[in-house]
Structure 1
Amino acid sequence: MMRAWFLPLALLVLQGCSTIKLGYQQLPTLSYWWLDSTVSFSGAQSPGAKQAIDNLHQWHRREELPAYAELLQRASQLSAGPVQAEQVCRIWTDVQARMDTSMREAVAQAAPVAMALGPRQLSHMARHWESQNEAWEKEWLQGSDSERLQRRLDKTLERYRSFYGELSAVQVSQIKAQLAQSPWTAEWGRQDRQRRQQDLLSALQRISQTSVTPAQAEALLWGVWQRWLQPPEAAQRAVMQSLSQRTCENLAQLHNTTTPEQRQQVTRRLRAYERDIRDLIKP
């Protein structure tokens, strides 16, 4: 529920969507549809949910877009030459800081909405997640190890090509080797997905079934977000930390194999995103 309010923007920026301005302007409507499909708001609940989303969107446009424009400017400058994993990680750390700031505002807006949810909405959410989990498992858990790896490779290549253009056979082999050595597995992914869902559902049930204040509801939702990023279990936390470090190393390793033309393409793409965001900032 919380993440849906700003995740569409992250998808637009990080997955290479070419229509950032249009997508961002439609974000309140898209977010409401997303949330409504998850919890099935009643007629009485819809106005409050829509207003909360609008408030968050206006705040984000005013307060956060300038910081994202600066991040994209730094990333485009960095992409022009060779990079080190530490430089990539610094960019990602700053992105995470911006996400934390956005989530602080998101949980403040979400708390009153969460307090209005009832058993019907929470049951709908659980069923919705069950259906989504079935689809996720069909995509990532079916088939042999080599078939699973190929599906991951196809998705990863799609994202990289949206920035760098066509990749060489050597680069494709390098990416495949990186995925094969990754600590991420479909089994771990399913476990972590279910962990996050259950954590959020438990918090919403507590908010719905007990007399909590808006501040207490906000604190419960913020705790969910923190545990999503830093799981209480040491083993889960270790995997997430390893994944984060490997991502920085893998991206730096691939970028340093790119041709001047590929670097020019990714630099142009990032600068175009920056221009789009700066256009959105204008009154």
Structure 2
Amino acid sequence: MALLLQGCSTVKLAYNQAPQLMAWQINRYLGLSDAQNERVRDELDDLQQWHRDTMLPQHAQVLQKVQRQLADGITAQQACSTYAEIRTQFDQVVSQAEPKMLWLASQLTDSQIRQLERKQADSNADWRKAYNERLRRQKDLVQVLQTVARDRQNTAQTKTLVREYLARFNQSPDPAYRSYAQTLVTEGCGGFAQVHNATTPAQRVKAVASAKSYEQDFMTLAAQ
């Protein structure tokens, strides 16, 4: 029980500090000016408040469904169905964040974009398919920001560029990587179902209790 409570406390702490941590990471990669940094922090605070009010109750509903599944056997199809719900909720967050990204993209200087390139190069991992997709996304982002920087007043173009970038980020244009990613999802769903179905009744009760605690965390955070 102590470990469970500790886990709940960690979730709440991480969630409440998320805007500050994200702002720090963005600043680390881009070297924001004071004015940019203040605006980014405000935008992230607004995004978190929207997420708290709108998405946390939806996350809690998914966890209620997970609890029912964990109490019994689960198929790979059920696991993937739950995953699809989570992806849909993620897409909602991306859509809400899009206008905030539009503003930041239009404000970056050439120097900041070059710093982003350097930071990305420093952080690249040494693994292949995921690594190649990471490189594609990084290059894609820099090219989008450079295009925006050349015509900052063209808000319609900026909106289109950022929206298309987010679509490519969410679903890679590389068929080989899409196949690889889908294989990981399919195998993950099957593996999760197989592992769960091998658990004892006592272990399932514990898993349900754990999911319930996270549901309660989300509802508590949503009410703050």
TM-score normalised over the length of structure 1: 0.73
Instruction: Rate the CA distance shift 1:215–1:24 in 2: closer, same or farther, 3 A.
Output: farther
Unaligned runs of 5+ residues in structure 1 are: 1-15, 138-185
Match of 1:55 in 2: 46
Match of 1:125 in 2: 116
In the alignment, the residues of structure 1 paired with residue 199 and residue 9 of structure 2 have an alpha-carbon distance, to the nearest angstrom, of 22
Matches within 5 A, 1:44-123: 44-123=35-114
| Structure 1 ranges of 4+ moved more than 3 A | 211-216
In the alignment, the residues of structure 2 paired with residue 250 and residue 225 of structure 1 have an alpha-carbon distance, to the nearest angstrom, of 29
Structure with the bigger percentage of helix: 2
For the Cα contact (< 8 Å) 1:52–1:110, is it kept in 2?
no
Letter of the 1:227 partner, please give it: R
Match of 2:212 in 1: 271
In the alignment, the residues of structure 1 paired with residue 141 and residue 101 of structure 2 have an alpha-carbon distance, to the nearest angstrom, of 12
In the alignment, the residues of structure 2 paired with residue 120 and residue 210 of structure 1 have an alpha-carbon distance, to the nearest angstrom, of 16
**Structure 1 position 132, deviation (Å):** 1.0
1:153-193 deviation digits (Å, cap 9, x = unpaired): xxxxxxxxxxxxxxxxxxxxxxxxxxxxxxxxx31121111
For the Cα contact (< 8 Å) 2:106–2:152, is it kept in 1?
no
Instruction: Count matched residues.
Output: 218
For the Cα contact (< 8 Å) 2:8–2:217, is it kept in 1?
no
Letter of the 2:69 partner, please give it: L
In the alignment, the residues of structure 2 paired with residue 220 and residue 27 of structure 1 have an alpha-carbon distance, to the nearest angstrom, of 27
**Structure 1 position 225, deviation (Å):** 2.1
Match of 1:161 in 2: none
Instruction: Rate the CA distance shift 1:212–1:261 in 2: closer, same or farther, 3 A.
Output: farther
Unaligned runs of 5+ residues in structure 2 are: 1-6
In the alignment, the residues of structure 2 paired with residue 40 and residue 231 of structure 1 have an alpha-carbon distance, to the nearest angstrom, of 28
Instruction: Rate the CA distance shift 1:29–1:260 in 2: closer, same or farther, 3 A.
Output: same
SS in 2 for 1:19: helix
SS in 2 for 1:268: helix
Moved more, 203-212 or 107-116: 203-212
1:26-69 deviation digits (Å, cap 9, x = unpaired): 11111101111111101231122112111111111111111011
Letter of the 2:55 partner, please give it: E
In the alignment, the residues of structure 2 paired with residue 70 and residue 192 of structure 1 have an alpha-carbon distance, to the nearest angstrom, of 33
**Structure 1 position 21, deviation (Å):** 1.4
Instruction: Rate the CA distance shift 1:17–1:247 in 2: closer, same or farther, 3 A.
Output: farther
**Which of 7, 30, 43 lines up with 2:34 in the alignment?**
43
- Answering whether residue 171 of structure 2 is matched by residue 218 of structure 1, we say no
For the Cα contact (< 8 Å) 2:8–2:213, is it kept in 1?
no
TM-score normalised over the length of structure 2: 0.91
Match of 1:242 in 2: 183
Match of 1:177 in 2: none
Instruction: Rate the CA distance shift 1:65–1:80 in 2: closer, same or farther, 3 A.
Output: same
**Structure 1 position 224, deviation (Å):** 1.8
SS in 1 for 2:33: coil
Match of 2:198 in 1: 257
**Structure 1 position 218, deviation (Å):** 3.1
For the Cα contact (< 8 Å) 1:83–1:256, is it kept in 2?
yes
SS in 1 for 2:32: coil
In the alignment, the residues of structure 2 paired with residue 74 and residue 214 of structure 1 have an alpha-carbon distance, to the nearest angstrom, of 41
Match of 1:20 in 2: 11
**Structure 1 position 215, deviation (Å):** 4.4
Percent identity among equivalent residues? 31
Instruction: Rate the CA distance shift 1:111–1:30 in 2: closer, same or farther, 3 A.
Output: same
